[in-house]
Amino acid sequence: MELHISIGRQALTLLDGAGEVLRTYPVSTAANGAGEDYGSYRTPRGRHLVRAKIGAGQPENAVFVRRRPTGEIYTPELALRFPERDWILTRILWLSGCEPGFNRLGCVDTQRRKIYVHGAPDDEAMGTPGSHGCVRMSNADIVALFDLVPPYTPVFIGEE
């Protein structure tokens, strides 16, 4: 099993072990485009893996801060009370880079940058860039993907 994330197409594709497409989901990558540097708010490219799966058993729209559920459930009213939050909802696939000097270690380390594939509010547009570096998905899609993907699944993020 493998994930391919296309920044250009704003799509995440789940492939089986033989390279056959199982599913394709619309996503939203960084509004600032592609890039690996810490603090760039860009989506890192290259080879990664799913280092950790977080949120199993949490309800849809569960709010996470620093990878921990807050006990809150996202609503538009909650969003109005906290307009500065970057909403990380429902499930998290925490990515780790596999290419030292490009997306692993030092100032380009994907895991230290806290780059995730995660759920987003239902009113967030998918198919267009808009995140702060992570890969956003609809809540229904991240639940489905989360249940299909084991830890250490390879992930490739490219601009194509």
DSSP assignment, residue 59? Answer: P
- Please tell me the distance from the alpha carbon of residue 82 to that of residue 80, in angstroms, as a whole number: 6
In a domain, 18, yes or no: no
In a domain, 8, yes or no: no
* Exposure on the CB side of residue 64, measured as CA atoms within 13 A: 25
In a domain, 6, yes or no: no
Q: Which residue range(s) make up the domain with 91?
A: 28-153
Read off the tokens for 4.
């391919």
Q: Is the pTM value of this prediction over 0.85?
A: yes
Whether 137 and 12 have beta carbons less than 8 Å apart is answered as yes
In a domain, 115, yes or no: yes
In a domain, 60, yes or no: yes
In a domain, 35, yes or no: yes
- Please tell me the distance from the alpha carbon of residue 139 to that of residue 9, in angstroms, as a whole number: 20
The per-residue pLDDT for 160 is 87
In a domain, 160, yes or no: no
Per-residue pLDDT tens digits for 98-120: 999 999 999 999 999 999 999 99
Per-residue pLDDT tens digits for 5-58: 999 999 999 999 999 999 999 999 999 999 999 999 999 999 999 999 999 999
Q: Helix (H, G, I), strand (E, B), or coil: what is residue 23?
A: strand
- The structural domain count of the chain equals 1
Q: What is the CATH number of the domain that holds 64?
A: 2.40.440
Per-residue pLDDT tens digits for 124-156: 999 999 999 999 999 999 999 999 999 999 999
The per-residue pLDDT for 139 is 97
The per-residue pLDDT for 95 is 98
Per-residue pLDDT tens digits for 25-37: 999 999 999 999 9
In a domain, 75, yes or no: yes
The per-residue pLDDT for 128 is 97
Give the pLDDT mean for 63-82: 97
Beta bridge partners of 5: 12, 157
